[in-house]
């Protein structure tokens, strides 16, 4: 099993490229062939295949080959680890702001006394 930090690094690296994010956006609307993904992005098939291999290695998409056509689809829970990471950081930031607010209120109360 891949450590959580390495998994997040892989996901963020895969999503860092605008072409790959565009592919994910397109695949979120439904499965598509390599040819359709390449055509939409205005790129050659070998470039599209390279990007799709990166997305697949990151666990963001799956593929299925029927005859000569390879079709890709987004994995339903592919971004869950990013959601979890963001949620934990959001909770930590909210807790820090809550402590800051309480400190400011305590100081205002002390100044009035």
Q: What is the dihedral of CA 28, 89, 18, 30, to 10 degrees?
A: 0
Architecture per CATH, 1-76? Orthogonal Bundle (1.10)
The structure's pTM equals 0.75
Helix 18-28 × helix 4-15 angle, to 10°: 90
User: What percent of the chain lies above the pLDDT cut of 70?
Assistant: 96
Give me the residues paired with residue 62 across strands: 73
- Give Cβ neighbours of residue 54 (< 8 Å, ≥ 6 apart): 13, 14, 17, 20
Rounded mean pLDDT of 83-89?
A: 84
Delimit the domains of the chain by residue range.
1-76, 79-113
Q: Cα torsion at 75, 56, 15, 50 (round to 10°)?
A: -140
- For the chain, the average pLDDT equals 89
User: Which tens digits make up the pLDDT trace of 5-48?
Assistant: 788 999 999 999 999 999 999 999 999 999 999 999 999 999 99
């Amino acid at each position: 099993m891949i450590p959580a930090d390495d998994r997040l690094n892989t996901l963020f690296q895969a999503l860092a490229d605008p072409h790959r994010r565009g592919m994910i956006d397109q695949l979120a609307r439904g499965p598509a062939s390599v040819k359709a993904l390449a055509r939409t992005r205005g790129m050659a098939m070998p470039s599209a295949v390279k990007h799709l291999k990166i997305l697949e290695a990151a666990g963001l998409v799956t593929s299925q080959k029927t005859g000569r056509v390879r079709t890709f689809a987004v994995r339903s829970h592919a971004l869950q680890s990013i959601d979890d990471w963001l949620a934990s950081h959001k909770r930590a930031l909210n807790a820090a702001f809550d402590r800051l607010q309480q400190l400011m209120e305590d100081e205002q109360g002390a100044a009035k006394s």
